[in-house]
Amino acid sequence: MDVTTRQGAFRGEPTSHGWAFKGIPYAAAPVGEARFAAPRQPERHQGVADATAYGPTVSTPPQRSPVMDALLPDPVRPGENGLNLNIWTPDVEGSAPVLVFFHGGGFATGAGSTTAFDGTAFARHGVVAVSINYRLAAEGFGFFPDAVPNRGLLDMIAALEWVRADIAVFGGDPSRVTICGESAGAMAACTLLAVPRARGLFRRVISQSGTAHHVHTVERGRLVVAELGAELGVEPTAAAIAQVPVDKLHAASNLVMDRMTSGQDPRFSEFTRLTFQPVIDGDILPEHPFEAVAAGAGPDVDLLIGANAQEYGLFVAPTGMWDKLTDEALLATTARIHPEPAALISAYRSRRPGASPAELFVAIQSDWFCVAPTERLIAARRDARHPVHAYQFAWQPPTYDGHVGACHTIEIPFVFDTLDDPWGIALRGPGAPQALADEVHAAWVSFVRDGDPGWPGYGTDGHVRRLDLTSETVTDPWAEARESWSGRSL
């Protein structure tokens, strides 16, 4: 099957339910002078380009944790232009709603060509699915004085502009675009609600385990690149960084990320979240995205947002921390994120008599990093009288003696209906419930198509769909997170 776009023709391949087109450049290769520039129009080509295999991945530091690399491996596909996207369509002659997926990875790792993000199931149910790559770490989010900021966000916008212009020839409706992201991808999706250049490029947002709270001020953005420059022994400019060999840059980036977020260096005591993330630069991102949403940004955009019940289980059970966390370590880690750690721990323990330090750590960190920001964003949307549906993914696998819980990332193969994919299978186990995947995937399809996942909006009653072996609509399941973090900056 050949399809002709503005830049030329591409040949895809049939799937069990339609067609797949992979590795299509949505922007020019970010090399040379373009490496730290805003994305540029893709180059035109003659003839028919092959689009039957995934394209190159972007230049990205390797995962810092060998455990995470084994559980959730990032594909490495060599090549010059990592700014490419993949499309799964039910029918190139149709006009189906479109889902554009932004991968996670802390704005530092990840790839849109991860096999668990295969969009064949969406095509089977009448949705055109798109996954993209975008620039990461220093190249995507380093705040340099001599480069345009927020290049990773600009890449996403360029991909959405490409979708608006060209998705119709793949059978997609450019007026019915939903952006969906997980973790950092979800943070980016929510942030785009506050980006003027992104207005009108999407109609709906699905946010999985991420909100609009993960941004830097200009001062913090400068501090990150200053530390990176010091680590490399160069000026903290894009011009100087561009002269550093890529492997050396990646090694230094990982060292800086560890140093700035580990809590071991008192210079960075306020860096408790991500090292590389969008910056409130005053132009591309004019203001804090949460404040923009609270003030009414995106009034015509439907939102489906949620969190998993034990987000931080991913970082505790598989890593061996479960049996090593002591009360002293729990107090020290909680002190980094709350001014009254002992009182906070006591409050969480009172609701969990007999809980181990590891169980309390997972509950506290999950609420701080993901659940409380999610609840706060939902409340802001509700108070602004904008549509919002909420979910909690609660299925807990038996793996790791049942300690991993409904952890970060575990919902992804349920969303894409790719439970047989090896990515993350050690987390969920080989017998994950297909019936739950059917339900979750159908809800996402329904929201993309109609703006309604099949349960009531959050509203004044606080309706949240708890997705589990037996799903149910519950009221205000995040009260503990809201009360525990009320009045605290997140």
Residues serving a catalytic function are 183, 311, 408
Burial category of 263 from C-beta neighbours within 10 Å (exposed 0-12, middle 13-18, buried 19 and up): middle
Q: Which two tokens stand for residue 152?
A: 């990773």
Structure tokens at 261: 């977020």
Nearest one of 330, 336, 335 to 349, comparing CA atoms: 330
Q: Which residue has the tokens 């929201």?
A: 447
Residue 263 structure tokens: 């809590």
Give dist(CA 223, CA 134) in Å, integer: 23
Query: Tokens for 230?
Result: 């010091």
CA dihedral 304, 305, 309, 310 (to 10 degrees): 140
Query: Which residues have C-beta within 8 Å of that of residue 291, sequence separation ≥ 6?
Result: none
- 3-class SS of residue 253: helix
Half-sphere exposure of 350 (CA within 13 A, CB side): 8
Residue 356 CA to residue 341 CA, distance in Å, equals 16
Query: What is the rounded end-to-end Cα distance, in angstroms, of the chain?
Result: 49
- CB contact at 8 A, 114 and 82: no
Cα–Cα distance, 23 to 63 (Å, whole number): 23
The token duo for 6 is 């503005």
Exposed e or buried b per residue across 440-451, where buried means at least 16 C-beta atoms within 10 angstroms of its C-beta: bbebbbbbbbeb
Q: Are 305 and 377 in contact (CB under 8 A)?
A: yes
Q: Check residue 181 and report its DSSP letter.
A: E
Spatial strand order of the sheet with 472-475 comes to 13-15, 18-25, 84-89, 128-132, 96-102, 172-182, 204-208, 302-308, 388-393, 463-467, 472-475
Measure the CA–CA gap between 247 and 207, rounded to whole angstroms: 32
Decide: 67 and 319 in contact? Cβ < 8 Å: yes
Cα 155 to its chain centre, rounded Å, is 14
- Which of the 8 DSSP states describes residue 169? G
Cα within 13 Å of Cα(447), Cβ side: 30
* DSSP symbol at 453: -
